[in-house]
Chains A and B, each alone.
Chain A
């Protein structure tokens, strides 16, 4: 039903004379004013007046009509309502105006007939108005009620659509969704969550959220939960583990949100749960791989270092905690790997790893593969080194049984370095370094064994290393010097020669005798320049003596190391030095040990022959202590035999004499003389020894009895003053 204002012109408008019209117009204006002030009228004032003018004309026509009918009055009442002139005062004013003004404006006399007609029309107008108004009111009421129902329907439809959307999302979501009230009672869970946890909706509705606590949950997670349901927080995220119905575990990312009502009070909680078990397990696997050796499955170096670090961290502050390491290395692995192939080598490592793990791994013991064929065993909380030795013994035992691989039966052994100590005052790095050193000792000592860390040995080795390292510089800096020990002719106690003995005045270690550094020098090859230096020094000294003492000047006897004897420049160097010192060659004797000469290959032998041909005397030092080839001896370019001092032991006083030793010495002297060689006895310390030697036929003597090794000046004094 539309609500347009009906402005149709009544069809029964009759012709009125101008005077009536004017009166009607005047009345209409007054009427308009009354109406406008009392109703909302969707027309301009002019339009209202015009509208009412028409109605007035109808009224006047009816008033004057014959026959008289009240119907027009009725209709006008209706029209007023249709035109929306429905203010509560409108009817009253209209009726009143009609009564008061109409007849006067029209200029119609007031008589009982007119009054009666007017009254009838007023009545009809009122009735028509009332009826139309009632109709209208009822219609509008009906319309508004229908609108209320429509609006409700709309709202419900929208709500249902929204709920349907929510329902679809809830049900179909791949992520687990759960809803609970503020008390924690679970109200609903979607399929994804049911599948994730293995419970049905009905089962889950029996639970409270607090029932889903997991022992691994951090306290933080539940603190956040309390904050959420108290309304202090709107959401939080957490990692959470759940126990499934079947006992398995799932790892999840959880987001819990608070839903508030219109007043802002907490009303529901909604959980969105994502299953990240796969990711979690993958992370674990990756971490495992990062810390384990892929070949053997044992912990790798990284894990070992981590564990070692933790052992130290746990021990810090606590005194008395100890730990030990076995550093082990398979002997001869390289050979196996190279000869049988890397495949076999790998399988070998796997089997070794397995045996180690099987026999050793356990509480407080970690077996790790460091790389290549190196393994390490960490023993935490050891009581003493014996604990570690036990482990090492077990390892060696385990490796005794041959390993069958690819048709081969392989026997491997291991070298093991053992370190065990209190953790206070040491570091992981120290422990590992010392274990490494000790492993090296085990190998050097012969392999297939364990070795214990020994601080003294370590110190010695460090010292050796230091000496070895500082030797070249020392040579430059003249830290070496040469002492001389007289060689005395037993017949007349004359000094016929001196042995040159090198010493090292070490800034740190003090005065070092040759036994401290000659071997090192041989190892490093420094013996060659050192030897040359000693030779030159000795020759210079010999020259000086020659100049001072002429024929009475002693020769110098200089030790020659094996290494030197193999030096291709040897002959040339000796010649040069002799030339530069202007020393006659027979004033020089070179001493070589028995083993050095006997093991001599061709070329060094040639060198010795050349030297001998030059006039240099060659002596065999420490004779009787090596393995002499006597037949060979005859053909060697040797002039002198020096009998080792150890034989002098038995040549003391006559009544203490060891007959065997005496016999040996005697025989050696005869042997030497038979070969045309001179004999010098070393280590002569007593007069009886000297006497005995002389009686035996020994030519020369050397030892403390005659003189200790001393400075050149001491020799000078001897030469001047005699013994």
Chain B
């Protein structure tokens, strides 16, 4: 029996089924960001969770803002190729939009497991050169790295930034996130980067109410595995963590001093950027 359980215990809705009546992470996220690329089922779930955890919307917005800051920073460092893993529904402020503002020849590959998200992405990117959307389960790096389509866009002889924004808390320990990271880093040339943002608490921060909500979230939405800063640090393997190191998400190179305060010091999520030498 144990053998078969492993097959079925993937949360049903982290799926590439194309069923509008089943909520998908990508579409819920889009709704949280104020988009309309979602269906009733997505909104229902999202609202249900927001009732118990209203800060979820803020967390989504913070993640998005972090993505923007990181991409801009990477562009400043000279990176012109991006692999956005778990990119979700392409909404406002996509990686390619940010990148092409700086360099229209910048190359972007979006990868998501959600077939609808990827189909939507393809439509949007039809007339956009140097950017594609690709459907794959990012937990199987080979299917991404060995794809002919991906390789047609990204030049693996040049530095690439791999973006794992709000991704790894959907990868449980038993799925070996370290190995997954290692597999993505392996074919990259020195000068490449890895960006990770991850939900998590430090010791003692999660109160009983929050824990209960999170457990309910895990049951109904997606199995999440929270990690603290030290654990996030370990996911970077032997990369050099650039300034400001592993910090709370809002504290990662904030755009203005107004963006950080006492509450942001307890933000339940961390981020860091690592460089491959």
Contact = CB atoms under 8 A, between A and B. Distances in A.
Interface of A: 1-5, 33, 39-40, 42-46, 84, 86-88, 136-141, 143-148, 150-152, 154-155, 260, 262-264
B22 to A, nearest CB: 11
Contacts of A154: 115, 119, 135
B92 to A, nearest CB: 4
A46 B254 CA distance: 12
A155 B123 CA distance: 16
Interface of B: 3-4, 7-8, 16, 18, 20, 27, 33-39, 60-61, 64-65, 68, 89-94, 97-98, 115-120, 122-124, 128, 135, 255-256, 258-259
B116 A147 contact: yes
Contacts of B18: 148, 151-152, 155
Contact of B36 (A140, A146, A152): A140
Contact of B92 (A42, A144, A145): A42
Query: Which of A40, A86, A146 neighbours the largest number of chain B CB atoms within 10 Å of its CB?
Result: A40
Contacts of B65: 40
B148 to A, nearest CB: 15
Query: Which of A139, A151, A155 neighbours the largest number of chain B CB atoms within 10 Å of its CB?
Result: A151
B34 A3 contact: no
A140 B4 contact: no
B4 A264 contact: yes
B239 to A, nearest CB: 27
A144 B27 contact: yes
Contacts of A84: 34, 92-93
Nearest to A140: B36
Contacts of B33: 40
15 contacts: A3-B94, A4-B97, A5-B92, A42-B93, A45-B259, A46-B256, A136-B36, A146-B119, A150-B120, A150-B123, A151-B115, A154-B135, A155-B16, A262-B7, A264-B8
B38 A144 contact: yes
A33 B259 CA distance: 10
Contact of A151 (B8, B97, B116): B116
B34 A40 contact: yes
A723 B68 CA distance: 153
B117 to A, nearest CB: 7
Contact of A3 (B27, B117, B124): B124
Nearest to B256: A45
Contact of A140 (B37, B115, B117): B37
B195 to A, nearest CB: 17
A51 to B, nearest CB: 13
Nearest to B32: A40
A136 B94 CA distance: 17
B1 to A, nearest CB: 9
Nearest to A88: B34
Nearest to A44: B255
A263 B8 contact: yes
A107 to B, nearest CB: 26
Contact of B60 (A5, A40, A46, A147): A40
Nearest to B38: A144
B255 A148 contact: no
B115 A144 contact: no
Contact of B123 (A40, A146, A152): A146
B119 A148 contact: yes
Nearest to A45: B256
Contacts of B61: 40
Contacts of A88: 34
Nearest to A32: B258
A443 B119 CA distance: 100
The 10 closest A-B pairs by CB, nearest first: A42-B93, A264-B4, A147-B120, A140-B36, A150-B119, A151-B115, A151-B119, A147-B119, A144-B37, A137-B36
Given A84-B34, A144-B39, A40 B115 contact: no
A523 B3 CA distance: 88
B34 A86 contact: yes
Given A40-B92, A42-B93, A137-B36, A143 B116 contact: no
Nearest to B17: A155
Nearest to B89: A144
A73 B215 CA distance: 47
B230 to A, nearest CB: 30
Contacts of B39: 144
B36 A141 contact: yes
A143 B94 CA distance: 16
A83 to B, nearest CB: 9
Contacts of B20: 145, 148
B92 A3 contact: yes
Given A40-B92, A141-B37, A144-B37, 19 more contacts: A3-B90, A5-B97, A42-B93, A44-B256, A46-B256, A84-B34, A86-B34, A88-B34, A143-B37, A144-B38, A144-B116, A145-B20, A146-B119, A146-B123, A147-B116, A147-B117, A150-B122, A154-B135, A263-B7
A139 B52 CA distance: 31
Contacts of A138: 36
A138 B8 CA distance: 36
Contacts of A152: 18
B134 to A, nearest CB: 12
Given A39-B34, A40-B64, A144-B120, A45 B255 contact: yes
Contacts of A87: 34
B261 to A, nearest CB: 12
A3 B36 CA distance: 13
A399 B16 CA distance: 89
A20 B273 CA distance: 44
B111 to A, nearest CB: 15
B259 A143 contact: no
A526 B23 CA distance: 115
B96 to A, nearest CB: 10
Contacts of A141: 36-37
A590 B17 CA distance: 125
Contacts of B91: 3, 40
Contacts of A40: 33-34, 60-61, 64-65, 91-93
A185 to B, nearest CB: 24
A136 B258 CA distance: 31
A264 B3 contact: yes
A151 B90 contact: no
A42 B97 contact: yes
A13 to B, nearest CB: 23
Query: Which of A39, A141, A146, A154 neighbours the largest number of chain B CB atoms within 10 Å of its CB?
Result: A154
Nearest to A149: B119
A42 B8 CA distance: 38
Contact of A143 (B16, B123, B258): B123
Contacts of B38: 144
Contacts of B122: 150
A173 to B, nearest CB: 28
A84 B68 CA distance: 15
A140 B35 contact: yes
Contacts of B37: 140-141, 143-144, 147
Nearest to B4: A264
A270 to B, nearest CB: 19
B116 A148 contact: yes
A147 B89 CA distance: 10
Contacts of A146: 119-120, 123
Contacts of A45: 255-256, 258-259
Nearest to A147: B120
